Chain A
Amino acid sequence: MSTTVLPGQHVPAQHVNLKLGPGLLQNTGNSRGDASTSASIIATRAGTLNHSANGSKWWIENNSRRYVPAAQESVVGVIIQKAGEGFRVDIGSAQPASLDGLAFEGATKRNKPNLKIGNLVYARVSLAHKDMEPELECFDAQTRKAEGFGELKGGFLVRCSLAMCRQLLDAKHFLLPLLGARFPLEVAVGVNGRVWVNAKDVRETIGVMRCIEAVDPDGGGMDEAGVVDFLKTLGL
């Protein structure tokens, strides 16, 4: 069902209400003006081609370590600089992203969040353009509520491959429910290859971190039974 595509390859995506996900590009520059878009959709990265059941959504899945920002994705970043009204945040992309000081819940001109260099934030990419610096926001622009975004206090930052991050976001993935059934934990998954974890005890946090690293397809790809055994050796 899934096929492998290489950059530059044409993708036979066709639908009246076509939505293209990461890794696909619609060529508008050299289109011949007709409505059919089938010939002008090309892949921009190598990976497996996936589409939704009715064929309206297409995307490419692959694994990498370098994050390329895309709008509406949640990321975990480190504040590296204060710049005027806002902050510059390292999210692992080629350029640091900018985060406006007013893009927080309840922030006003007078009452801005007090973040220091080195603090971690969980944010959403609000603007990602290939020729511009990515922009982040720590609230929902419509409701102006935090929705879980904002500063991450305590805990630890785990770095993993991008495929692992997406797997952790999948509700059907076994790891987080398995760990959550054993001890309470907090997790903020960024799709930029960074996962913030926090548990009550240092040993538990280390356990979560080592499990994520063990399950990562880049570093072993342990399965569910393996993780259960692994947790036993950790004494958790």
Chain B
Amino acid sequence: MRPPSPSIPEKEFLFAALKQSLRLDGRSPLESRPPILSFGPELGWVECALGKTRVIAHVEAKMVKPPPERPFEGIITIHSEISPMASSEYEIGRPSEEEITITRMLDKVLKRSDAVDKESLCVLAGQRVWHIRLTLHCLADAGNMLDCACLAGIVALKHFRRPDVEVIGDEVTVHPASERAPIPLSMHHTPFCFTFAFFLGETAPILDPSQLEQRLSAGLMSVALNAQRELCVVQKLGGVPLSMDEVLQIVNVAVLKAKELDQLVDARLKEDWVGRNVELI
């Protein structure tokens, strides 16, 4: 059973509050919830929380034979598990429209934006390449799960380090972390996703909608970009017409947010790496 849509008083109150530029959790319209990143004992295990929305991302690597059509490229697969644990809206075996949107968007932001250098994952052309598997577990959905999952995924890829390999002739030796320091994945850039919600009438767009805001919004727009102002994905859902100025304004806001987020992610990754006792040779 899908949960009933929000009640009439909730809807009216939210619209009345947004008309006065007030949000229910005390944020300003273009303020996102501060992301909280925590790292697990393994490299590539990240939990990201945006308010009560929580996603765990986990990266694994193994060596496989590449497909014959792309012998020089490694493989990246994304598994997103959106279970009823996150919210009673999601059901097993019957993906809702929202679920499909999240999965496709993750694929676009993390894989098709070429964040990870696939050619650097090649060990021995046509014989051996790394297969990077990113698993995303959505633990709780309190709105804007897409941004949270994207952030968790990209941070996990940055946090992950693969074992060092040595190739002598046709012989491939994998050095465990105890022998040689593991190597981080070579990344082209770090895209971040920002979702904006739009409402009908004279209401300004809001960043990082909560669950209620997301469900009552007339349209959503997700923008994925990196701190270098390179736009990767723009996705707009819902029927609200937007003028060009509005879209550009949103992109400008997202650029500023991406710069802030990039600094935060780098700082947190550095902090974690310093605290981690990995023997470097």
Residues of A that sit less than 8 Å from B by CB: 78, 80, 90, 116, 118-120, 152-157, 196, 202-203, 205-206, 209-210, 234
Complex Cα distance, B20 from A205, in Å, reads 13
Known A202-B20, A206-B24: A154·B7 in contact at CB below 8 Å: no
Q: What are 15 sample pairs from A and B whose C-beta atoms fall under 8 A apart?
A: A78-B7, A116-B8, A118-B6, A118-B7, A152-B9, A154-B9, A154-B12, A154-B13, A156-B24, A157-B7, A157-B10, A202-B16, A202-B22, A206-B17, A210-B25
Binding site of A, secondary structure by majority: helix, strand, loop or mixed? mixed
Residues of A within 8 A of B11 (CB): 118
Verify B17–A118 contact, CB threshold 8 A: no
Binding site of B, secondary structure by majority: helix, strand, loop or mixed? loop
Verify B26–A118 contact, CB threshold 8 A: no
- Given B6, B9, B10, which contacts A153 in the complex, CB threshold below 8 Å? B9
- Given B8, B16, B24, B25, which contacts A118 in the complex, CB threshold below 8 Å? B8
Verify A156–B9 contact, CB threshold 8 A: yes
Verify A155–B4 contact, CB threshold 8 A: no
CB of A107 to closest CB in B, whole Å: 21
Closest residue of B by beta carbon distance from A118: B8
Closest residue of A by beta carbon distance from B24: A206
Q: Which interface residue of A116, A155, A206 has the most chain B CB atoms within 10 A?
A: A206
Residues of B within 8 A of A120 (CB): 7-9
Verify B4–A78 contact, CB threshold 8 A: yes
Closest residue of A by beta carbon distance from B12: A154
B5, CB-defined interface residue at 8 Å = yes
Give the interface size bracket for B toward A. Answer: 10 to 19
Verify B8–A119 contact, CB threshold 8 A: yes
Known A210-B25, A210-B26: A205·B13 in contact at CB below 8 Å: yes
Complex Cα distance, B10 from A152, in Å, reads 11
Complex Cα distance, B26 from A205, in Å, reads 11
Additional 6 contacts, C-beta under 8 A, given A155-B13, A157-B7, A203-B22: A90-B4, A119-B9, A156-B9, A196-B9, A206-B17, A206-B22
Verify B25–A156 contact, CB threshold 8 A: no
Verify B8–A156 contact, CB threshold 8 A: no
Known A202-B22, A206-B24: A156·B4 in contact at CB below 8 Å: no
Residues of B within 8 A of A206 (CB): 17, 22, 24, 26
Verify A157–B20 contact, CB threshold 8 A: no
Known A90-B4, A202-B17: A156·B22 in contact at CB below 8 Å: no
Verify A156–B20 contact, CB threshold 8 A: no
Closest residue of B by beta carbon distance from A76: B7
CB of A136 to closest CB in B, whole Å: 16
CB of B12 to closest CB in A, whole Å: 7
Closest residue of A by beta carbon distance from B52: A219
Q: Which interface residue of B11, B12, B13 has the most chain A CB atoms within 10 A?
A: B13
Complex Cα distance, B36 from A153, in Å, reads 38
Pairs of residues from A and B, 10 with the lowest C-beta to C-beta distance, nearest first: A118-B8, A156-B13, A78-B7, A80-B4, A202-B17, A118-B7, A120-B7, A90-B4, A157-B10, A120-B9
Residues of B within 8 A of A153 (CB): 9
- Given A78, A80, A234, which contacts B26 in the complex, CB threshold below 8 Å? A234
Closest residue of A by beta carbon distance from B5: A118
Complex Cα distance, B149 from A148, in Å, reads 44
CB of B211 to closest CB in A, whole Å: 10
Complex Cα distance, B16 from A155, in Å, reads 11
Residues of B within 8 A of A205 (CB): 13
Closest residue of A by beta carbon distance from B20: A202
Residues of B within 8 A of A156 (CB): 9-10, 13, 24
Residues of A within 8 A of B13 (CB): 154-156, 202, 205
Q: Which interface residue of A118, A120, A196 has the most chain B CB atoms within 10 A?
A: A118
Closest residue of A by beta carbon distance from B16: A202
Closest residue of B by beta carbon distance from A210: B26
Residues of A within 8 A of B3 (CB): 90
Residues of A within 8 A of B26 (CB): 206, 210, 234
Complex Cα distance, B12 from A155, in Å, reads 9
Residues of A within 8 A of B10 (CB): 156-157
CB of B86 to closest CB in A, whole Å: 14
CB of A231 to closest CB in B, whole Å: 12
